[in-house]
Amino acid sequence: MTSAGSGLTLLQTCALSLLVFTGASQFALVGALAAGGSPFTAAAGAFFLGARNAFYGLRLSQLLALPRAVRPFAAQWVIDETAAVSLAQPTRRGARIGFVVTGLSLYLLWNLTTLLGALGAEAIGDTDAWGLDAAGPAVFLALLAPMLRTGTERTVAGLAVLLGLGLLPVLPAGAPVLVAALAAPAVLWAQGRRSTSRGGAPEEDR
Amino acid sequence: MNIWIAIGVTALGCYALKLAGLLVPAGALERPLVRHLAALLPVALLAALTAQQTFSDGQSLVLDARAAGLAAAGVALVLRVPFLLVVGSAVVVTAGVRALGG
The residue ranges of DSSP E strands in chain B, in sequence order, are 56-57, 60-61
- Residue spans of the domains in chain B: they are 63-102
> pLDDT at position A4, please?
57
Which residue from A140, A143, A181 is facing B41, i.e. has the nearest CB?
A181
Beta-carbon pairs below 8 A across chains A and B? 292
* Residue A69: Cβ-neighbour burial (10 angstroms; 0-12, 13-18, 19+): exposed
**Helix, strand, coil percent content, chain B, rounded in steps of 5:** 75, 5, 20
Min distance B8 CA to chain A CA atoms (Å): 8
ipTM reported for the complex, 2 dp: 0.83
> pLDDT at position A167, please?
92
**Nearest-angstrom CA–CA distance, A29 and A35:** 10
Min distance B63 CA to chain A CA atoms (Å): 12
Which of A13, A38, A47, A141 should we substitute to test contact with B (largest number of B Cβ atoms within 10 Å)?
A141
Q: What is the pTM of this model?
A: 0.74
Mind listing the pLDDT tens digit of every residue in chain A (206 residues)?
456 556 687 888 888 888 888 877 888 888 778 777 788 888 888 887 787 788 778 778 877 888 878 888 888 888 877 887 887 788 888 888 888 888 888 888 888 888 888 887 777 666 677 777 888 888 889 888 888 889 999 999 999 999 999 998 888 777 888 889 899 899 998 988 887 554 444 444 43
Chain B residues whose CB is inside 8 A of the A66 CB are 22
The angle at the Cα of A111, spanning A105 to A113, to the nearest 5 degrees, equals 95
**Nearest-angstrom CA–CA distance, A39 and A41:** 6
Chain B residues whose CB is inside 8 A of the A176 CB are 48, 52
Average pLDDT over residues B73-86: 91
> pLDDT at position B68, please?
94
Chain A residues whose CB is inside 8 A of the B41 CB are 48-49, 51-52, 181, 184
Which residue from B43, B59, B96 is facing A184, i.e. has the nearest CB?
B43
Chain B residues whose CB is inside 8 A of the A136 CB are 53
**Coil, helix or strand for A103?**
helix
